């Protein structure tokens, strides 16, 4: 066990981005994943979630045989997946019950995450469940584990590359006490299992996903609608790398391609660093809603990331943040856009 295999050489280089840039989808239209994974059997766990569902549906639309794994606590999400040609298989990662997933699948994309805020539950699902999944799928050609930039130590406006210091980023939020630590532990599991099973693996540290289905900026929009202040860190501005759902979907083949032993670790975010202050200001401009910021130390700090490796392995993102946020408002609250101070779409 432990013999190196896989398409890319991970941290040492990998195959690199396709010449056109894997993320080049254009700013509008449905999320598209391209034909690179057509005809292959792909297991997508967490397929009813914010990030997993559009990926599963786009892969199925592009001709992959997609098997979705979740407990399917959301029956409507299951129905949407089945309508999109996805086969749904109930699994419970917390119990390590993944045996009904097809062990012969070519590729596994793990977007499942437990955020119960209970240590035992979240460690069992996010860490133990990942171990069970990688063991079950040890013969796959690639395993992509979705991690988070919430694994980085809070360090103000430091720009983190993949070797940056890790820490309990989300400890400041009482409702997400288990998140950063269980995600760090999950990365350790993925690293170990990649070697143990010689399973080419990518660990993708996702920044702030958003789109028509929601995300953190959509949550801020709801705060603004309710007339509530938006928390920002006192060390202003609060900067992240929001990445639109269309870019997430378009970069999946690159993440698969980058899988290697030892595991490839890559930051995964939008090309443009954008602050909460900037995106809420733009949402206010679009909708005419007021935004009131509440600077505090009781919220997470900026997490800025170095995207050099992402650009080499996956290409660039293509949805300008203002275009993506405007699309989000149109999808979720079109009535607000009509009253806004502007209806132009910045390029
Ligand atoms: N959303 C963000 O802002 C953000 C930011 C950075 C990174 N990420 C990462 O992106 C990935 C996807 O996150 P998300 O926001 O899409 O998550 P989400 O919307 O909360 O969805 C979580 C998914 O995991 C499944 N799941 C939860 N517990 C499970 C269990 N015990 N067994 C099997 N499946 C289980 C859920 O389905 P059931 O409940 O039906 O089982 C659901 O499909 C995660 O790795 C997350 O850490 C997210």
Q: What is the pLDDT of residues 301-312, one digit of tens each?
A: 999 999 999 999
> What is the chain's percent helix, strand, coil content, to nearest 5?
35, 20, 45
Q: Which residues contact 78 (CB under 8 A, 6 or more apart)?
A: 48, 68, 70, 72, 88
Whether residue 152 lies inside any domain: the answer is yes
* pLDDT digits 0-9 by tens, 172-228: 999 999 999 999 999 999 999 999 999 999 999 999 999 999 999 999 999 999 999
CA nearest neighbour of 33 among 107, 133, 136: 107
Quick one: which of 170, 243, 233, 173 has its CA closest to 207? Answer: 243
Ligand 1 atom nearest residue 110's Cα: 45
- Whole-number percent of the chain with pLDDT over 90: 87
pLDDT at 6 (0 to 100): 37
Number of other residues whose CB lies within 10 A of the CB of residue 332: 16
> Looking at ligand 1, which atom is closest to the CA of residue 179?
47
Q: Residue 143's pLDDT is what?
A: 98
**Given a cut of 70, is residue 29 above it in pLDDT?**
no
3-17, 130-144, 183-197: lowest mean pLDDT where?
3-17
User: How many residues make up the chain in this entry?
Assistant: 347
pLDDT at 339: 72
In a domain, 261, yes or no: yes
Q: What pLDDT is recorded for position 317?
A: 98
Q: How far does CA 99 lie from the centroid of its chain?
A: 25
Ligand 1 atom with least separation from CA of 74: 40
pTM over 0.85: yes
Question: Does the pLDDT value for residue 2 go beyond 80?
Answer: no
Considering the domain boundaries, does residue 165 fall inside one?
Answer: yes
Please give the sequence-ordered ranges of beta strands (E in DSSP) within 41-175, or none if there are none. 41-45, 65-70, 87-90, 107-110, 142-148, 159-160
Q: How many domains does the chain have?
A: 1
Could you tell me if residue 284 is inside a domain? no
Identify the CATH number of the domain in which residue 74 sits.
3.40.50.720
Whether residue 157 is predicted with pLDDT greater than 70 in this model: the reply is: yes
Residue 114 Cβ < 6 Å to ligand 1: yes
Specify the DSSP element, H or E, that contains 206.
Answer: strand 201-206
Domain contains 287: no
Q: How many CB atoms lie within 10 A of CB 321?
A: 23
Tokens, residue 207: 């920044």
Domain membership flag for residue 262: yes
Q: Which residue has the higher pLDDT, 146 or 35?
A: 146
The span from the CA of 331 to the CA of 313, in Å, is 31
Please state, rounded to an integer, the average pLDDT across all residues of the chain.
Answer: 91
- Could you tell me where the DSSP H helices lie in 168-269? 179-196, 216-225, 245-250, 252-257
Locate the ligand 1 atom nearest the alpha carbon of residue 52 and give its number: 16
CA of 103 to the centre of ligand 1 (A): 22
**Dist CA 217 CA 206 (whole Å):** 15
Best residue for ligand 1 mutational test, from 53, 110, 112 (most atoms within 8 Å of Cβ): 112
Contacts of 305 (CB under 8 A, 6+ apart): 149, 159, 160, 161, 205, 207, 241, 267, 269
Residue 345 has pLDDT above 80, yes or no: no
Q: Rounded distance, CA 48 to CA 70, Å?
A: 7
Q: Is residue 41 part of a domain?
A: yes
- Closest-CA residue to 147 (of 196, 105, 104, 191): 191
The mean pLDDT value for 239-268 works out to 98
In a domain, 337, yes or no: no
* 72 ligand 1 Cβ < 6 A: yes
Domain that holds residue 259: 10-213+241-273+303-319
């Amino acid at each position: 066990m432990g013999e190196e295999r896989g398409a890319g050489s991970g941290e040492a280089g990998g195959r690199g981005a396709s010449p056109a840039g894997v993320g080049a989808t254009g700013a509008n239209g449905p999320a598209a994943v391209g034909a690179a994974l057509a005809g292959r059997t792909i297991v997508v766990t967490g397929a009813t979630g914010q990030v997993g569902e559009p990926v599963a549906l786009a892969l199925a639309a592009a001709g992959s045989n997609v098997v979705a794994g979740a407990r399917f606590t959301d029956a409507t999400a299951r129905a949407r997946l089945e309508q999109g040609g996805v086969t749904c298989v109930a699994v419970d990662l917390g119990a390590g019950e993944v045996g009904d997933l097809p062990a012969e699948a070519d590729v596994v994309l793990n977007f499942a995450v437990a955020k119960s805020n209970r240590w035992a539950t979240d460690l069992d699902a996010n860490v133990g469940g990942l171990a069970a999944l990688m063991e079950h799928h040890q013969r796959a050609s690639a395993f992509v584990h979705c991690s988070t930039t919430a694994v980085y130590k809070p360090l103000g406006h430091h720009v983190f590359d993949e070797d940056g210091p890790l820490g309990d980023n989300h400890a400041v939020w009482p409702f997400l006490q288990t998140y950063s630590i269980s995600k760090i532990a999950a990365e350790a599991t993925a690293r170990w299992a990649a070697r143990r099973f010689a399973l080419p693996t990518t660990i993708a540290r996702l920044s702030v996903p958003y789109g028509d289905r929601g995300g953190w900026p959509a949550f801020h929009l709801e705060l603004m609608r309710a007339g509530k202040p938006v928390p920002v860190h006192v060390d202003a501005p609060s900067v992240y790398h929001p990445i639109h759902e269309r870019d997430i979907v378009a970069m999946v083949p690159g993440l698969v391609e980058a899988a290697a032993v030892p595991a490839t670790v890559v930051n995964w975010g939008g090309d443009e660093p954008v602050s909460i202050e900037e995106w809420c200001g733009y949402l206010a401009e679009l909708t005419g809603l007021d935004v009131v910021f509440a600077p505090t130390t009781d919220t997470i700090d900026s997490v800025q990331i170095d995207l050099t490796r992402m650009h080499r392995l996956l290409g660039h993102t293509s949805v300008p943040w203002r275009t993506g946020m405007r699309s989000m408002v149109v999808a979720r609250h079109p009535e607000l856009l009509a009253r806004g101070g502007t209806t132009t779409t910045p390029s």
